[in-house]
A and B are shown apart, each in its own frame.
Chain A
Amino acid sequence: MSMDDAARSDDDIVVSVLEGRTRDYEVLIRRYSRRITLFVARMIGDNDEARSIAQDVFLKIYENLPYYRRENNFSAFIFKVARNMALNYIKRRRRTVLFSRLLGRDLDRAPFRQDPPRLLELERGEREGELNRQLRRLSEEQRLALVLKVYLEFSYRQIREVTGWSVPKIETLISRAKSRLKKNLRLQENGGKAVNPAREQ
């Protein structure tokens, strides 16, 4: 990215792309790719899959650029799309796991496998780190708020632009997510069983 590109605002680049200068879209991709990949990775707990979803996010954003309004924040716009795609992936994965369990199939052998079976999950847990696994145990709302705050360093107001939630709700979600993680990690260290986060949201 050149100095000129770095100085251009997101909105200017969007206008340029909409006028037909497609190559300018690359500036936006380079500007956001690292953060979008990180965001999706923390949301779904899978770094490899996050890269593929990040690619789809940018394709989707390009298709939907005509619907972006300049009075909105482009950063919020792109993270909204990323959030939706990450949550869709989580739902799809959950459905696949449920479906496979109902059929009594071994997910590892099934050709349509999207989520690894329990044994592979243990290996993957080791690979990706305990914290990532614990993040996946939070409710989707708690995880979304916490990831935006801790990893993307969004303010509560910026989180509100992405999620549409009120600031007090965001405050509560983050606070509960932190205390849940604290409990889970300590219990994990002592060999105990983790608390079910969905019950206490």
Chain B
Amino acid sequence: MNCRRITRRLSSWQDGELDAARSREVERHLRDCPACRGRWAGLRELQQQLLLEPPPADDPFLAARVMARLRPRPLRGGRLLRAAAWAAVFAAVSVGGFLLQAALAGNGAPAPAASYSSVLLEPQEFGLLAVHDDFLDLFNGGGREAR
């Protein structure tokens, strides 16, 4: 194998990318060729220098900064199903509560007035304020005198 071919393969050999047969050829050539050994030494020196360059300092707040700027994703898959299940439970509890309240209101409570006008014509007690027919007449066309 000539030096030109070896020179082309030295870099791949250094990177561990040559198969076993080609690696052996390179090694054999390097044993016999001082010029190629010089090139190989240069490559090794370069690799060492490249790795001497200090890496950028770790940024401990990078993750926190990114996380603070993320928008939450819409629910998908399993979470959506779970959310639907909770919504169904909430709806069932609401309907049940409403029905229970209606059932309790039906036991012992006064019968509901037949109409809106009948409510207005009966005396109503609202705490300290007693509403009587006379007072209601004021709203029904100006009182008895007027009639």
Contacts and interface: CB of A to CB of B under 8 A. Distances in A.
Interface in A109-129: 129
Interface stretch (B53-61, B96-104, B134-142): B53-61
B75 interface: yes
Given A151-B50, A156-B12, 15 more contacts: A20-B76, A26-B67, A29-B62, A38-B56, A47-B57, A54-B59, A54-B62, A59-B70, A62-B70, A129-B53, A131-B53, A150-B51, A174-B15, A181-B46, A181-B50
Interface residues of B, number: 36
A20 B74 CA distance: 6
Nearest to B58: A34
B31 interface: no
A131 B50 contact: yes
Interface in B1-32: 8, 10-12, 15, 17
B11 A20 contact: no
A33 B70 CA distance: 16
Interface residues of A, number: 40
Contacts of A18: 73, 76
B66 interface: yes
A79 interface: no
B107 interface: no
A20 B67 contact: no
A34 to B, nearest CB: 6
A41 B52 CA distance: 15
A149 interface: yes
Interface of A: 17-20, 22-23, 25-26, 29-30, 33-34, 37-38, 41-42, 47, 50-51, 54-55, 58-59, 62, 129, 131-132, 149-151, 155-156, 171, 174-175, 178-179, 181-182, 185
B54 A129 contact: yes
B53 A19 contact: no
Interface of B: 8, 10-12, 15, 17, 42-43, 46-47, 49-59, 62-63, 65-67, 69-70, 72-79
A19 B77 contact: yes
8 contacts: A25-B67, A41-B56, A129-B53, A131-B49, A132-B53, A156-B12, A156-B15, A174-B11
Contacts of B74: 20
Contacts of A149: 15
A35 to B, nearest CB: 10
